[in-house]
Amino acid sequence: MENFDKKIAFIGCGNMGKALASAISAAGFGDDLLFCDHTMNKAQSLAEQLGGTASELEKIVKEGYFIFLAIKPQGLESLFSEISEKLQTRKDRFILVTMAAGVEMETIQNLSGQCDCPVIRIMPNTPVTLGEGTILYCTNDKITDKDKEEFLKILSKSGVVDFIPEDKIDAASALTGCGPAFVYMFAEALADGAVECGLPRDKAMLYAAQTLLGSAKMLMQSGKHPGKLKDEVCSPGGTTIQGVHALEMGAFRGVSASAVTAAYEKTLKINHLTTKTVL
């Protein structure tokens, strides 16, 4: 973005913070990054890899425009006890970006001491590291169209960045956040089946991964219902329909759907406990 002279700050340099910062750097904003972590060697290492600067927390709070809170929910209360007063004294505009699972924007607002600032809540997943992730986001009413434009621009190399109402973000993240684990299990199972049929393990894993990748692209780019695409592979009396029958006998679709709903139900339980702890 032309004339973007704002600092993009990360409090926390763990796996997800690193993944998001990598995507922001890939989008051309590496020089605008500030990093802070309770282990400053982590922040320094990330700054060396991606550009930007390792900074003390006070500098982050003073100079950050987009301030990414890349820490676990249980660390929020302690963090805001250090920074809320400093945030309240700022006269310039800044945006808090929270990715703490189960913590609503209202809670972030309360922890900040009712700081009257824009808040963006995001739920990213691990493929963000490769620029093929999904980032769900919602905003409070302080966010402007320009804020959204800048936010989407700095994350333009992360994958799909999609707005969703906050009351739906937990359900969506049960799919996008937990889904990669389910897909990896399916890939491993496909490869196991091929190994059982006599294929070397390395070939089986390569073919399973590429099959999933190609199929996902077909689903996204064709615009066709997955059932339609499945039917196009299944010849009458052929091998594929025999395999589909085996999956149906094992309740494949029902179990897959149950995996998402189970993750969602667990999220609701964690959210209830987390909110009580944070507040």
Q: What pLDDT does residue 115 have?
A: 79
In terms of DSSP H, where are the helices of 112-154?
145-154
Lowest mean pLDDT segment, chosen from 78-87, 171-180, 268-277: 268-277
Distance CA 53, CA 50 (A): 9
Mean pLDDT, rounded, for 94-109: 92
The 10s digit of each residue's pLDDT in 184-228 is: 999 999 999 999 999 999 999 999 999 999 999 999 999 999 999
The 10s digit of each residue's pLDDT in 229-263 is: 999 999 999 999 999 999 999 999 999 999 999 99
The 10s digit of each residue's pLDDT in 21-34 is: 999 999 999 999 99
pLDDT confidence of 267, banded at 50, 70, 90? confident
Entry field: residues in the chain: 279
Q: What pLDDT does residue 215 have?
A: 98
Of the candidates 26, 68, 27, 66, the residue with the CA atom closest to the CA atom of residue 49:
26
- pLDDT exceeds cutoff 60 at 1: no
- pLDDT exceeds cutoff 80 at 2: no
Amino acid, single-letter form, for residue 226? P
Q: What is the DSSP string of 46-100?
A: HHHHHSSEE--HHHHHHHEEEEEE-S-GGGHHHHHHHHHHHHHH--S--EEEE--
The rounded mean pLDDT for the chain is 93
Contact partners, residue 225, CB within 8 Å, separation at least 6? none
Rounded to a whole number of angstroms, the CA Rg of the chain reads: 22
Q: What pLDDT does residue 274 have?
A: 59
Q: What pLDDT does residue 277 have?
A: 59
Sheet holding 64-69, edge to edge: 53-54, 33-36, 7-11, 64-69, 95-98, 119-124, 133-139, 159-163
pLDDT confidence of 276, banded at 50, 70, 90? low
- pLDDT exceeds cutoff 70 at 272: no
- pLDDT exceeds cutoff 90 at 101: no
